[in-house]
Amino acid sequence: MKSQEIRQRFLNFFENKSHVIVPSAPMVLKDDPTLMFTNAGMNQFKEYFLGNSTPKHHQLADTQKCLRVSGKHNDLEEVGKDTYHHTMFEMLGNWSIGDPKDASVGYFKKEAIEWAWEFLTEELKIDKSTLYVTVFEGDQQDGIAKDDEAFQIWKNIVDEDKILLGNKKDNFWEMGDQGPCGPASEIHVDIRSPEEKTKTPGKDLVNQDHPQVVEIWNLVFIQYNRLASGKLQELPAKHIDTGMGFERLSMVMQGVQSNYDTDVFTPLLSEIETITGHTYAKNEATDIAMRVIADHVRAVTFAIADGQLPSSTGAGYVIRRILRRAIRYGFTFLDTKEAFIYKLVKVLVFQMSEAFPELKKQRTLCENVIQEEENSFLRTLAQGLSLLDQMVEKNKGKELPGEKAFELYDTYGFPVDLTSLILEEKGMTLNEEAFQKSLQAQKDRSKNAAASKTGDWEVLQETENEEFIGYDRLQVEVELVKYRKI
């Protein structure tokens, strides 16, 4: 089943269950001082859950473009390395928003669970034996009971040994330190091959990051309100908030074992193959680079189509960094020395414009902006190369002081993995210890300036771009160094 059809089936299914289908909210948020990017489907309904406003319709469904590169939900480091976390992804969701004045409005756990199951196993005909579910086990310290209600509902649907108990971290959702919250039930799918199963037996793999045992759907039952005192109060009107990863669902439906092998990503990967001359699925390092590029071009294109151009501050800076990360992976692992990522926009437009018409409308802008950014960063890289040449000349045959590499990296944005590589070619080494020291000092400075990351909503501060440097420019490059060593 094509991904396009999967998305449509989801929306039709919930429309038939009296949901109103709403458009995706923008991925880049302009008016919310507490959040830069939409990171979940429910973001746009926050005010309803807080009781600050009343929706026209109480049962809603959509596909939401999300970006998880900052704050509590920051998946950037996994992207490319694993096969099921993306920066930008679509979250399919259905909601019930209760009304304190009218108990007949909306639905709660029973319908949310039964419909999720019906959609997966009857509408999409996913093999029931591959599915597991989780239920909140309770938390004594916090005085929250186990979610027996959900447990009982699931027991009528699946064998008891398919129901796993989960802790507060995975199975209890809170908006922040105060406000609406409640237990969650997740649906996981185990698509390991029989051979892989013998290598990694048991179902205890759930939630333990096996790339083929993944969470696909999260059902949140918003039934409490946390008071400033920390105490929980039953909400007068309860709500349902669900989110399912569209690319992961496509992976399951298309019988493949990586999101990148679905039709959401294969056209992008094959264009990258054509442009770079590298073949996907041949070598782990180039594969990661190709996945990073295929992923990041989506994040950047959707952001630009939302009106967020790359820039040197705030959300624009985050977008610039994501694009530069992609350029760097190309430069380092695929030998791309000329702008090429902009050429992938047309593939994305072709594939996604039906669901997201803004892509088609903004195509030229996206291409031009990405190409310009690529050229400019490639110039920076070239400048760094020439400075490094001078440094090499001065320190011929010796170790390059780590501070020098850090200067290149910090002032000129020249990646340290490239520095190492070039030094190696010249028969030189890098004083990594000194480099790491400077790096750590920089990291500590960023950390101190970083935003609070406790809730779904970040508390943005003026130093938000430094926070981003903290994990992209620093961490990622350190990781590249690590990777190269393996």
- Does 76 help bind ligand ATP (rule: CB under 6 A)? no
- Does 67 help bind ligand ATP (rule: CB under 6 A)? no
- DSSP letter at 200 equals S
- Does 86 help bind ligand ATP (rule: CB under 6 A)? yes
Q: What mask of x and - would describe binding to ligand ATP in positions 10 to 49, judged by CB under 6 A? A: ------------------------------x---------
How deeply is 204 buried, as exposed, middle or buried, from its count of CB atoms within 10 A (0-12, 13-18, 19+)? exposed
- DSSP letter at 278 equals P
Q: Is the C-alpha dihedral spanning 386, 387, 390, 395 positive or negative?
A: negative
Distances (CA, A) of 174 to 49, 143, 226, 275, 326: 11, 15, 8, 45, 33
- Does 243 help bind ligand ATP (rule: CB under 6 A)? yes
Q: Which of 248, 339, 331, 350 has the alpha carbon at shortest distance from 292?
A: 331
- Does 68 help bind ligand ATP (rule: CB under 6 A)? yes
Instruction: Identify the residue among 3, 24, 218, 446 touching Mg ion (CB under 5 A).
Output: 218
- Does 91 help bind ligand ATP (rule: CB under 6 A)? yes
Q: What CA–CA distance (Å, rounded) separates 459 from 442?
A: 22
How deeply is 373 buried, as exposed, middle or buried, from its count of CB atoms within 10 A (0-12, 13-18, 19+)? buried
- List, as one string, the DSSP characters of 405-435: HHHHHHHH---HHHHHHHHHHTT-EE-HHHH
- Smaller CB distance to Mg ion: residue 83 or 218? 218
Sole window of 51-59, 101-109, 239-247, 282-290 interacting with ligand ATP (rule: CB under 6 A): 239-247
Sole window of 52-60, 209-217, 358-366, 391-399 interacting with ligand ATP (rule: CB under 6 A): 209-217
Q: What CA–CA distance (Å, rounded) separates 66 from 299?
A: 9
- Smaller CB distance to Mg ion: residue 170 or 372? 170
**Which positions from 399 through 438 interact with ligand ATP, judged by CB under 6 A?**
none
Q: What mask of x and - would describe binding to Mg ion in positions 198 to 217, judged by CB under 5 A? A: -----------------x--
Instruction: Identify the residue among 75, 111, 273, 432 touching ligand ATP (CB under 6 A).
Output: 75
Q: What three-state secondary structure class fits 304?
A: helix
Sole window of 29-37, 135-143, 215-223, 280-288 interacting with ligand ATP (rule: CB under 6 A): 215-223
Binding site for ligand ATP (CB under 6 A): 40, 68, 75, 85-86, 89, 91, 215-218, 243-245, 247-248
